[in-house]
Amino acid sequence: MRSIITTPAASASRNSIGNELIWDQDWLVGCFCPSQSGPLWRIYFPPRNAYNMVLHKYGEKLYSGLVTTMTWHLKEIAKSIEAAQGGLFLEELNRKWGDHNKALQMIRDILMYMDRTFVPSNHKTSVHELGLNLWRDNIIHTHKIQTRLLDTLLDLIHRERKGEVINRGLMRNITKMLMDLGSSVYQEDFERPFLEVSASFYSGESQQFIECCDCGDYLKKAERRLNEEMERVSHYLDAKSEAKITSVVEKEMIANHMQRLVHMENSGLVNMLVDDKYEDLSRMYNLFRRVPEGLSTIRDVMTSHLRETGKQLVIDPDRLRDPVDFVQRLLDMKDKHDKIINVAFNNDKTFQNALNSSFEYFINLNNRSPEFISLYVDDKLRKGLKGVTEEDVEVVLDKVMMLFRYLQEKDVFEKYYKQHLAKRLLSGKTVSDDAERSMIVKLKTECGYQFTSKLEGMFTDMRTSQDTMQGFYASQYSEMGDGPTLAVQVLTTGSWPTQPSAPCNLPAEILSVCEKFRAYYLGTHTGRRLTWQTNMGTADIKATFGKGLKHELNVSTYQMCVLMLFNSADCLSYKEIEQATEIPASDLKRCLQSLACVKGKNVLRKEPMSKDIAEDDAFFFNDKFTSKFIKVKIGTVVAQKESEPEKHETRQRVEEDRKPQIEAAIVRIMKSRRVLDHNSIVTEVTTQLQSRFLPNPVVIKKRIESLIEREFLERDKADRKLYRYLA
Amino acid sequence: MGSSMPQWLDIFEIYARYCSERPDSSSDLDVVSRNDYATSKELLAVLSKSLEYSGQRREAIFNDIYKLMSCLDLSVDSRNFNRFYDFVFFFCRESGQKNIAVHRAITAWRLVLNGRFRLLNQWCNFVQEYQRHNISEDTWQQVLAFSRCVNEDLEGYDPKGAWPVLIDDFVEHMYSLVYMMFFSRCRISRSKNCSTEDYIFGCAD
């Protein structure tokens, strides 16, 4: 095909070829022919020709000629691609695409002038884009190629998912081609159907997995699938497809099966928690966090599991028998779940909060928790921390403090702590003074000075007492002679949890030393009053049994009083002992029981033999007492879990102590607010006091009534729900 | 008060004086200064003291109250009754005490709230059985307010309504009673139409 173009004579006079320009479509064909390159096509159609044509207003002709030629050519190519057999189809397409690109490059170079001037001024599509559009319309969007291409691509991906190896390079070239043809071509002709097919693939696969896998395996499979898809995108898909395909996998494999997964029998979340399956838990966390509600699903199941097991633990009557074990189990449970959250749950704050709130919930279900926590500390400070380094002590105490923080009734803990500390200090049983003080400091930091001032007072008393005893013996050195050695601890009233008790009758030799001490002490501290707390003391006495066997008996003061009676008598009735010592009956019975009824410690003999002490029993000095130890410890005063009546009594004391605190809070609030309604008072009082305990609204109400009666407050005459402060 | 106290004040005089000396009514409380309030408290204290001198008739106080009540017109204005009701507490108080004994409070309630408090009988029985401490002025006054705002099915009672604990306990007691009754009735009658409302206090009186 040839066309002869005659140009006006005035222009292009310097054209070396002459005034005639030849438009030869063959050069274009040449461009598309891969065997020709570079120098050859210049012969057919030097760029100058194109330049001249545009210059002489034949641009339109040149452009339409290009479109016609290229379209014609591409139709030919389409035929050859269609003809490609089976697997060669993609390769053929890919090769033709490569050729087309190269040709397009050449054409653009040749027609550069047209591209720069004619195209923009006539709002035509640029040569390169035109080439792509024509490729799209004549190759990709032809009926035969379009479906075949899509089916081939999807089939290859499916085969890869099934484990076959496919030519990823080819895949990459083809998808690249689709992207080059415009993002809408990629999306419409490939991505959308790809996502649809993937969704149905994963929906089917997840259904199959969930029926036959346990939770851990399922998650492993889901994780692998997810990684595969991401890898696929990085190898041969558009990067923008990653979010889309992963969300398909997430939805089909995770979100749709979340509830079933966490609750899966024998392998669900609870089992993982119980068995410390850090890897599985971590996998679950990382997968679930990808879907909405995922983490809250885990958290909710974990919370209800924690609450349930915690509740079982704290209300189990078996656990209540051993307070130390009880607390240790709580600590172990906390450690275990702390570790899980740390290792598997990315130290997620919301999970930590869930753990804390669960502990707070169930620890307070048992109103003995404060007592038991204090007993645990007592056990540790009494013996448990022997030979443990200072740092380890701190760790244990810090853990206890953490439990302490969960307590609602901190004042109850304080009460017990005071009792237990007193017993430790007075019996000299505390292992480490540093540890004791460290604990006090921690309590102080947590609850303020008020909380610990009395506890600190106890330490001061202990120190002062030591000095006092030294002073006493220094002054009495000459006249002490062979008498018993006395160790007195002078306790400040109010700082110590002393129960008022009538003193018993001490043996004469003890009494004389006591009197000497009283005289010495009051001599230096005038105006004070000393009361002997005989119920709290201990004594070491030396005893000689039959065949001259000597033992040192470590007993309580009460027991000492009883035993001393047997210096002058071999047999005493219960009544006689009671009269001579004046020990309160319940204490006396307990003390006689420990002296006469415990095997290996029975320095007394009882008639009739029985486990319990009766009013008409008779007691004998047990001449036949033997023990393999020189020192025999009888009936030690170890802090123990309180009995029911004692517990009740402590409870009442706590309630009594709360009354003034609640009243003080009400008065403080009313003083600043002057007028306030009932419910606001209750709320504010609760807020003010909750660092120490959770006041009962009924108790608050009773305190308000009492304050009205005592004319600190009055009810508003008009609105009976309002209270006024009466200054 | 002059030192020459009359030997015997009858209840009408005492009431008249009480009314004049009492820091009166809700309406002008804001106007009455604290000072006035305090003075009137003192005056009332003096008046209360004077009651002791006429103490020979303490046993007959309820007759007196009844007499006074029948002469007063208490039906129209609730403020009048308020004042009278408060006066009864004042009048029943033992010398030097802030509260009145349970048995006396119950007798007084039965007398003055008769026909004014639908749960009067249940209330008095409850207090008789469960209240150990004396009745404080606040509780006394709140009972009147309570009697006005609840009807026999306890509708109108708000658990957050700042009622004295005694009243809260009473309501709880009534509820437990009613439910017990309701369930036992239902078992006996096997009636399908049983509803708690039907039995609320219908059978208690």
Q: Which of B78, B99, B165, B166 to mutate to test the interface with A (most CBs of A within 10 A)?
A: B165
CB A347 within 8 A of CB A398: no
**Paired residues of A633 in beta bridges:** A554
Q: Which two tokens stand for residue A104?
A: 């397009």
Q: How many CB pairs under 8 A join A and B?
A: 38
Q: CA-CA distance, A295 to A297, in Å (whole number)?
A: 5
Task: Give the pLDDT confidence score for residue A34 in this predicted structure.
Answer: 46
What stretch of H or E contains B109?
helix B102-112
Which residue stretches of chain A have pLDDT < 50?
Answer: 1-23, 34-43, 636-639
Structure-model confidence comparison of residues B9 and B64, the more confident one: B64
Of A698, A709, A718, the CB nearest to B26: A718
For A497, phi and psi rounded to 5 degrees?
Answer: -80, 60
Task: Give the pLDDT confidence score for residue A499 in this predicted structure.
Answer: 67
Q: Does the distance separating the beta carbons of A678 and B160 come in below 8 Å?
A: yes
Q: Does the distance separating the beta carbons of B165 and A701 come in below 8 Å?
A: yes
For residue A504, CA distances in Å to A534, A537, A574, A610 come to 7, 12, 15, 26
Per-residue pLDDT tens over the stretch A369-426: 999 999 999 988 887 666 777 788 888 899 999 999 999 888 889 888 988 898 888 8
- Residue B24 near chain A (CB below 8 Å): no
pLDDT (average), residues B8-33:
61
- Residue B132 near chain A (CB below 8 Å): no
CB B141 within 8 A of CB A715: yes
Q: CA-CA distance, B7 to B82, in Å (whole number)?
A: 29
The crossing angle, in degrees rounded to 10, of helices A192-212 and A215-236 is 160
Q: Which two tokens stand for residue A560?
A: 């000492």
Q: CA-CA distance, A684 to A225, in Å (whole number)?
A: 55
Chain A positions touching B29 (Cβ under 8 A) are: 717-718
Chain A residue with minimal CA distance to B37?
A726
Q: What radius of gyration do chain B's Cα atoms show?
A: 20
For residue A243, CA distances in Å to A234, A235, A250 come to 12, 15, 10
For residue A651, CA distances in Å to A370, A560, A694 come to 11, 32, 14
Task: Give the pLDDT confidence score for residue A159 in this predicted structure.
Answer: 94
Sorted by sequence, the CB contacts under 8 Å of residue A447 that are 6+ apart come out as A410, A414, A691, A692
Chain B positions touching A679 (Cβ under 8 A) are: 160, 162
Q: CA-CA distance, A88 to A170, in Å (whole number)?
A: 11
Of B25, B138, B145, the CB nearest to A708: B138
CB A143 within 8 A of CB A189: no
Q: CA-CA distance, A726 to A714, in Å (whole number)?
A: 7
Question: Closest approach of chain B CAs to the CA of A685, in angstroms?
Answer: 15
Is the C-alpha dihedral spanning A209, A213, A218, A222 positive or negative? Answer: negative
Say if strands A631-633 and A550-556 run parallel, antiparallel, or are unpaired. Answer: parallel
pLDDT (average), residues B35-63:
65
pLDDT confidence bin for B38, thresholds 50/70/90: low
Q: Does the distance separating the beta carbons of A677 and B26 come in below 8 Å?
A: no
Structure-model confidence comparison of residues B197 and A2, the more confident one: B197
Distance of alpha carbon A349 from the chain centroid? 7
Q: Which two tokens stand for residue A530?
A: 């000393």
Say if strands A20-24 and A2-6 run parallel, antiparallel, or are unpaired. Answer: antiparallel
Q: Does the distance separating the beta carbons of A717 and B161 come in below 8 Å?
A: no
Question: Closest approach of chain A CAs to the CA of B30, in angstroms?
Answer: 10
Chain B positions touching A685 (Cβ under 8 A) are: none
Question: Closest approach of chain A CAs to the CA of B193, in angstroms?
Answer: 37
The crossing angle, in degrees rounded to 10, of helices A410-426 and A369-379 is 30
Q: Does the distance separating the beta carbons of A718 and B145 come in below 8 Å?
A: no
Q: Does the distance separating the beta carbons of A721 and B26 come in below 8 Å?
A: no
Helix (H, G, I), strand (E, B) or coil at A311: helix
- Residues found in chain A: 727
For residue A408, CA distances in Å to A366, A385, A444 come to 11, 27, 17
Residues of A with CB under 8 A from a CB of B: 677-679, 698, 701-702, 705, 708-709, 715, 717-718, 720-721
Say if strands A631-633 and A713-715 run parallel, antiparallel, or are unpaired. Answer: unpaired
Q: CA-CA distance, A3 to A611, in Å (whole number)?
A: 133
Q: CA-CA distance, B114 to B100, in Å (whole number)?
A: 19
Q: Does the pLDDT at position B204 exceed 50?
A: no
The crossing angle, in degrees rounded to 10, of helices A390-406 and A433-447 is 30
Question: Closest approach of chain B CAs to the CA of A699, in angstroms?
Answer: 9
pLDDT confidence bin for B23, thresholds 50/70/90: low
Task: Give the pLDDT confidence score for residue A640 in this predicted structure.
Answer: 56
Q: Which of A686, A716, A717 to mutate to test the interface with B (most CBs of B within 10 A)?
A: A717
